Amino acid sequence: MVGYMGDKATMIVHHLAAMSSDCRIYHVKKENRLYFVPDTLDQARKENFGTCKYCNKTTS
C-alpha cells in the first residue's frame, strides 16, 4: 500500500489514505505520478514537492 503520490506536473504530494475529491488524483496523468522511497512525506519534501492542502492537513 502506497502512502504518498507526487504529481510531477504540479510538484504537489498527496496523502492517498486521506485524499479528498478536491485532490483530483484521478486527473493526474500516469507519467506524472511519482512514488517515494522511502514512502514518507519527509522524502517528498526532500524532492521539492509541496504538500497538498486537501489531504495533508492533519500532518504538518
Q: Which residue has the cell 519534501?
A: 45
Cα separations in angstroms, 58 against 17, 18, 30, 53: 11, 9, 26, 9
Q: Taking a C-beta distance cutoff of 8 angstroms, is the pair 45, 5 a contact?
A: no
Which of the ranges 3-11, 34-42, 43-51, 52-60 carries the binding residues for Zn ion, by CB under 5 A?
Answer: 52-60
By CB under 5 A, what part of segment 18-37 binds Zn ion?
23
Which of the ranges 2-10, 31-39, 44-52 carries the binding residues for Zn ion, by CB under 5 A?
Answer: 44-52
Binding residue for Zn ion (CB under 5 A) from 5, 28, 44, 55? 55
Q: Which residues bind Zn ion (CB under 5 A)?
A: 14, 23, 52, 54-55
